[in-house]
Structure formats: C-alpha cells, structure tokens
Amino acid sequence: MAADLGRVERALAASVHTGDEQLTEMASHLLAAGGKRLRPLMAVAAALTGRPEASDEVVTGGVACELVHIGSLYHDDVMDEAELRRGVPSVNARWGNHRAILAGDFLLARASELAASLGAEVAGLLGATIGRLVEGQIGELRTQYDPSRSVDAYLHSIGGKTASLFAASARIGALVAGLDRGAVDALTAYGEAYGTVFQIIDDVLDITATDEQLGKPAGHDLVEGVYTLPVILTLSAGGAPAGELGDILGGPLDPPALDKALAIVRSGGGVDAALDEAARWADRAGAALAELTPSAAGTALAGAARHLLDATGVQRAKAR
C-alpha cells in the first residue's frame, strides 16, 4: 500500500492547485500538515479485495472523499473556534473565519468535481454523504450542553458525521473497481462499522490522551458541550460519580471544572464501557468482510478495525 499512498498524496496535491496562490496555500494547509489518509486508503483497499491493483480512477474516488473530510475539518474549526489542528495553526486561526469557510467550500466543490468525473452514481453517493455529514453535525449541535444526550442520539450523530464518509470511501472504491453488488454492499457495511469504531475511539482519546498526543487540547468536546460516549455512559451508570459529573456539566467549563470532569470520567467505568461498544462495532466490521472472497486486502481491513481498539490499550489501563 506504500506505493498507493504515494499516488494518493500526488493526486491530493494536484487536486487543490489553483490559479490563486493564496487559495492554493489555504486549501493545501492541512494536507501539508500530514494525516493517515485513511479514507482514500480504504477506497484503495476495497478495490483490492477483488482486483489485483487499484486504478487511477479508484485513487481519484478516494481523493474526493479525503477532500470532503478536510473541507469538513475547516468548517468544524470555524464553528469550534479551534486554534490548532494536527499540531499546526488551524486555517481560521491563520487566515480568519471568512477565508477558512471559503477554503472549505472550495475543497467540497473540488471533491464533487472529481466524483462527477467517475459517473453519476459516484457523484450522487458523495453528494448524499455530504448531506449525512451535515445531518450528523446538526444532531450534535441539537444536544450541545445536554447531559441527557442518549446513546442512540450519539450513534446517530457519529453515523452521519464520521461513519458515512468511511462507508462512502469503501463503496466508491468497490464501485469504481467494478466489483459485484454483493461485495459493494459488504464493503459499505464494513466502512460504516469501521467509521463508528474510529469515532468512538477518537472520543475516548479526547478524554484519556494528552494535548501532545492529540495535537489539540484534551477534553475539547467537554468544553464545547459535546458529550460523547464515555461521558454519556458515565452519567447513565448512576451513583455518586454520575451525580457529581452531572452537577458540573450543562454549561461552559473553566479549566478547574474541566480537570474535575475529566478525572471523574477517567476513573469511572464510562471509558471501558465505550471501548466495549467499539469492540461490538469492530465485530460487525469483521462480519461484513466474511461475505467476501478471502484476500490480502480483506485481511488487512479486518485487522485495521481491530487495530483501532488495540491502540488504546495504554489509555484503557490508565483510565482504570
């Protein structure tokens, strides 16, 4: 996959080049900051479950998904007034909110252009996925600072804002590679489950990791009033910790209150319960792949879902 990652990086760089020097710089900002490129690599891996190599069109589809992801980060950082992203100043911190929004819009537009080059079905799928991202974000905003946020509301939100794009990446890779519909649907289900695991783990790390590990301030979701699965499960467990946490939440947190809230969630059972839920979704991911003809790419995808869980072992031990 190393060679394919190189192809992805080159295609990404080319996709954001424009005749406007500042727009190119802004659109390239987070790309230059790095990233694992999980979404385009998922498109490539999906194609490789049924083909010996990934075509340039598969790479193009993956790049379109990555541009949607990056564009959504630009918009998220404006809404959150974030100053850091991936260890570098956010686009809004460097160039201001207006330019950050426009740069994000440009990335979404370029993604749509690339998807259209792959045919009507891919273009429609990417458009629908952008709509799901917005729905997920709206759902999150609707429950902002609400300690009664339910697990179902949380899962619905992350299904839109995160899992949908992983599902689209896998589906686009499979579609463009010309895999049969059964394989396309199985890989789509895998991407949805993988994306759910990914977001749960990301939310766990926001509670358990350090600023340096995250490349942004820890506990940011709590500060923004976004109560994620570890927090929801801590509150729903009842008892003194839940009561104490409930008294803290419901509004903006100053640094001492944030530290106290983090300590409660870290010391309770919410983190482990959230990891258990992630494990169930990882099992779903593996079950979806079981429908495919065995391949090296399929084995790698199954391992990727489990790796997300294994990588949190240190944090889970610390939480206990």
List pLDDT tens digits, range 49-100. 999 999 999 999 999 999 999 999 999 889 877 787 877 888 899 889 999 9
Q: What is the pLDDT of residue 315?
A: 43
Packing angle of the helix pair 164-176, 120-142 (nearest 10 deg): 170
3-class DSSP state of 27: helix
3-class DSSP state of 238: coil
Q: What is the pLDDT of residue 211?
A: 66
Cα–Cα distance for residue pair 72/126, rounded to 1 Å:
13
Higher pLDDT among residues 16 and 215, named by residue: 16
Mean pLDDT within 270-283:
96
What percentage of the chain exceeds 90 in pLDDT? 81
Mean pLDDT within 237-247:
94
Q: What is the pLDDT of residue 318?
A: 43
Distance of CA 55 to the CA centre of its chain: 25
pLDDT band of residue 105 (cuts 50, 70, 90) is very high
Q: Is the pLDDT of residue 139 over 90?
A: yes
Q: Which residue ranges make up each domain of the chain?
A: 2-319
Mean pLDDT within 6-22:
93
Q: Is the dihedral of CA 21, 24, 29, 32 positive or negative?
A: negative
CATH 1.10.600.10 is the classification of domain 2-319? yes
Q: Is the dihedral of CA 166, 233, 137, 260 positive or negative?
A: negative
pLDDT band of residue 36 (cuts 50, 70, 90) is confident
Q: Which of 77-86, 113-122, 291-300 has the lowest mean pLDDT?
A: 77-86
pLDDT digits (tens, 9 = 90+) for 140-198: 999 999 999 999 999 999 999 999 999 999 999 999 999 999 999 999 999 999 999 99
Alpha helices in the chain (DSSP H): 2-15, 21-32, 38-48, 56-80, 91-95, 97-116, 120-142, 151-158, 164-176, 181-208, 211-214, 220-223, 229-236, 239-248, 255-267, 270-289, 296-310, 313-319
Packing angle of the helix pair 56-80, 38-48 (nearest 10 deg): 150
Q: What is the pLDDT of residue 199?
A: 96
What is the rounded (10 degree) CA torsion for 260, 204, 231, 137?
A: 120
The neighbouring-strand residues paired with 85 are 88
Q: Is the pLDDT of residue 300 over 50?
A: yes
Q: Which of 20-29, 161-170, 201-210, 211-220 has the lowest mean pLDDT?
A: 211-220
Mean pLDDT within 268-278:
94
Is residue 15 within 8 A of residue 67, CB to CB? The reply is yes
Q: What is the pLDDT of residue 319?
A: 41
Q: Is the pLDDT of residue 42 over 70?
A: yes
| pTM passes above 0.85 | yes
| Mean pLDDT score of the chain | 92
